Amino acid sequence: MASRIASGLLRRRAGATLGLLRSYTHVRNYSSQLSALIPATSQCSKLTRRRYYLPNASPYQVWSRSFASDNGDKVEAVVPFMGESVTDGTLATFLKKPGDRVEADEPIAQIETDKVTIDVASPEAGVIEKFIASEGDTVTPGTKVAVISKSAQPAETHVAPSEEATPKESSPPKVEEKPKVEEKAPKVEPPKMQAPKPTAPSKTSPSEPQLPPKERERRVPMPRLRKRIANRLKDSQNTFAMLTTFNEVDMTNLMKLRSDYKDEFVSKHGVKLGLMSCFVKAAVSALQNQPIVNAVIDGDDIIYRDYVDVSVAVGTSKGLVVPVIRDADTMNFADIEKGINNLAKKATEGALSIDDMAGGTFTISNGGVYGSLISTPIINPPQSAILGMHSIVQRPVVVNGDILARPMMYLALTYDHRLIDGREAVFFLRRIKDVVEDPRRLLLDI
């Protein structure tokens, strides 16, 4: 008896399972039911991409055939996150045009911000269908820039045949002949004698300067980076009580140090020994001896920094950028040279990020690479001082009573006189002079 009951339960469960499976079967298993739904007309001879609900069947939808959704074929390229302190940017230029093929992560547009240029990359490989934004628009992170189709093919330019390009010859238009009208000869009257008009004086007097025509001038919008530089420099002049002190340094010993150890330095560290690393180390030593130069004013308070992040000014084709060497007080000559080379390469390629230029407690600007003999640099806000290096020139100097030709460099320190007195500024610059003229002081810490 029990076996009969168990056998009946198994049969009922198998029947229910079979019925459920039949409700999920492909539509061809329901041809008899579909024939009742679809009228026997010529318009319905082929199945289309429609969904049908079968009577007395499963509540799930059944399609005549499977197909991909059009929504999954389109992707949108958006403006990426640009940094904590950057809220918007200007769409400077498009690197591609509609119809071009792009790969995943390939840049399609460039965004200019106050500090760096950021690329807008394609999220997927495909073909650019259209641009949503325009060049010159102000965009924010998340703004849609372009629509990319993953399945479309690149646009091809088709040249029309020469026969189609040539317009069909048409007969010249017929000119309607007008009836001839006899024209009467006009009466000729003798001319009246008029008094000569007085000549008007020339609009421009000989003393007025002749300005060039407007056609020889070009007006272009100022890039955001240049506007940011202009505003920061003007704010620096309006905020700081800037004062500059000068000194000169004899480069003989440092240049001899480079000449003696340059080959061994390259073979061990894989980078050349430059002058900048020694000046960075000298600035670190001077900042540790005069901590007020490494400090900054914040409202009614003075913030002293127990770390040294040196900003190095780098000139690029798009403007001046100031990337930062982090924790320079913990680095040796090789680490500083590698850091400078890496930042200079990224600046030249336009690959600097916001993080590369954020912060900084002191700035070094080397105008000597361009041939500058002497200058007064402007403080990089919110820092309190900046060191200006200049070109090395052979000049006659007195050494132990003798007049000798030595490679000399002028140094300039511009500082915020609200915070730094002249005494601290002179001691700071003097420390840099002593360390550069005798690098052994760094080894002995004296």
Q: Which residues lie below 8 Å from residue 315, measured CB to CB, with a gap of 6+? A: 370
Catalytic position from the list 105, 137, 260, 421: 421
Single-letter amino acid code for the residue at 356:
D
Four-CA torsion 256, 259, 265, 266, nearest 10 degrees: 150
E strands present in 299-366: 301-303, 310-312, 314-316, 319-321, 324-325, 362-366
What are phi and psi for residue 402, nearest 5 degrees?
Answer: -110, 145
What are phi and psi for residue 318, nearest 5 degrees?
Answer: -95, -10
Rg (CA), the chain: 40
Contact present, 349 and 318 (Cβ < 8 Å): no
Catalytic position from the list 417, 434, 438, 445: 417
Told to judge if 417 belongs to the known catalytic residues of this protein, a careful annotator would answer yes
Rounded-to-integer distance, Cα 97 and Cα 9, Å = 68
**Count of other CB atoms within 10 angstroms of residue 148:** 25
Tokens of 298: 């914040």
Tokens of 425: 């500024």
Contact present, 252 and 407 (Cβ < 8 Å): yes
Contact present, 120 and 145 (Cβ < 8 Å): yes
Rounded-to-integer distance, Cα 27 and Cα 40, Å = 17
Instruction: Give catalytic residue positions.
Output: 417, 421
